[in-house]
Amino acid sequence: MKKTLIKNLVMYSAVIFASMTALQAMAHIGYGGRDFGSFTGATLESLTISNQAVTGSHGWIDGTDADWGDSHRLRAYRFHLDNDADVSISFGDLAYTTSTGTSLLGGINPGFSLYSGLAHLAPLGADYDSAPGSVALRDADSGGAFTEGSFRALTDWRITNDNNDPATVFTYVGSAYDGSVDYGSGVIAGGDGIADNFVSQSFHLTAGDYTIFVGGTDYSDQVAPWDSYGLEGVVSVVPEPEIYAMLLVGLGLVSVCANRRQNYAYS
Ligand SMILES: [Ca+2]
Ligand SMILES: [Ca+2]
Ligand SMILES: [Ca+2]
């Protein structure tokens, strides 16, 4: 009952569209145009980011296997929570043409993983998989076994930059993906079972900074050249029940006061 109410409130809550941001060239881990911003966690809040794209349709699923994946095949998004809250994260496909005339395909089956923590931010150098420090971290964490990159879709991972600054640690919170995938080692956990180019998952989160890595789930798409696929992402935040109850009580008091003023005006 309560969950249905909250879901409906999220559905009916206002959606603010993020400003359109020019597509960036393939780069190391950064959040340009992909910052959902700061949520108070005290009111219903929702933000949509469109006009983003990922190269290739295999980035997320390639990070679920034994040799990990290349973070360049995913896109990183960030958000901040001022208070604990329930957070709903959704990604869908989006076909469009960029301002420079590049055609982005729809049709990707998106998968995403949520981590607490942020990559190194400017003025520090950007994190990337083949930085010597990142390779050393991978060798340490894999016990010397071969890895394709640093990205791990289903657990914590570490990476750094050319200055070898203390490692960025992405602490795994959870993940979800569109459809159901089995590339030979059993069905990968977290699929929504319906391959309709859309995936959504809710998480109860504590205050802090979060990174979402988003990529495709087509395990057969690992040989270049790759197409570019448009993405649309939504983060919706629902206050904790006690905070929301306080908010409703507050609104009720405002309403009572307004009614009293109105009654006095008519008496
Ligand atoms: Ca691979
Ligand atoms: Ca892999
Ligand atoms: Ca789906």
Query: Residues 202-242: pLDDT tens digits?
Result: 999 999 999 999 999 999 999 999 999 999 999 999 987 77
Give residue-wise pLDDT tens across range 69-93.
999 999 999 999 999 999 999 999 9
Surrounding ion ligand 2 within 5 Å at CB are 62, 65, 67, 69, 148
Q: How close is the Cα of 35 to the center of ligand 2, in Å?
A: 27
What is the overall mean pLDDT for the chain? 88
Predicted local confidence at residue 239, as pLDDT: 86
Ligand nearest to the CA of 66: 2
Ranges of residues in the chain with a pLDDT under 50 are 1-25
Provide the pLDDT for residue 265.
Answer: 54
pLDDT of residue 27: 79
For residue 109, the CA-to-ligand 3 centroid distance in Å is 8
Q: CA 108 to CA 117: how far, in whole Å?
A: 26
CA of 72 relative to ligand 3 center, distance in Å: 24
Distance 186 CA to ligand 2 centre (A): 15
Please tell me the distance between residue 141's alpha carbon and the centre of ligand 2 in angstroms.
Answer: 15
Q: If you measure from the C-alpha of residue 129 to the centroid of ligand 1, how many angstroms do you get, rounded to a whole number?
A: 14
CA 85 to ligand 3 center in whole angstroms: 24
Instruction: Report the alpha-carbon distance of residue 178 to residue 122 in Å, rounded.
Output: 33
Ligand 1: distance of its center to the CA of 55 in Å? 14
Tell me the pairing of strands 198-205 and 45-55: unpaired
The rounded percent of the chain whose pLDDT value lies above 90 is 78
- Residues linked to residue 76 through DSSP beta bridges, in sequence order: 213
pLDDT of residue 266: 53
- The DSSP-derived string for 57-78 is S-TTGGGGSTT-B-GGGSEEEE
CATH class held by domain 2-241 = mainly beta
Domain boundaries of the chain, sorted by first residue: 2-241
Distance CA 216, CA 108 (A): 6
Of the ligands numbered here, which is closest to the C-alpha atom of 61?
A: 2
pLDDT of residue 255: 73
239-243 contacts at long range (C-beta below 8 A, 24 or more positions apart): 239/41, 239/42, 239/43, 239/44, 239/83, 239/85, 239/86, 240/41, 240/83, 240/84, 240/85, 240/86, 241/2, 243/41, 243/42, 243/83, 243/85
User: Relative to the alpha carbon of 60, which ligand is closest?
Assistant: 2
Q: Are 135 and 78 in contact (CB under 8 A)?
A: no
Q: Which residue has the tokens 């359109």?
A: 20
Which one-letter amino acid corresponds to residue 17?
F
In the three-class reduction of DSSP (H, G, I as helix; E, B as strand; rest coil), residue 247 is classed as: helix
Other CB atoms within 10 A of residue 96 CB:
15
User: Which ligand has an atom closest to residue 93 CA?
Assistant: 3
Amino acid 121: pLDDT: 98
Identify the pLDDT of residue 20.
29
Ligand 3 geometric centre to CA of 219 (Å): 17
Structure tokens at 34: 């992909």
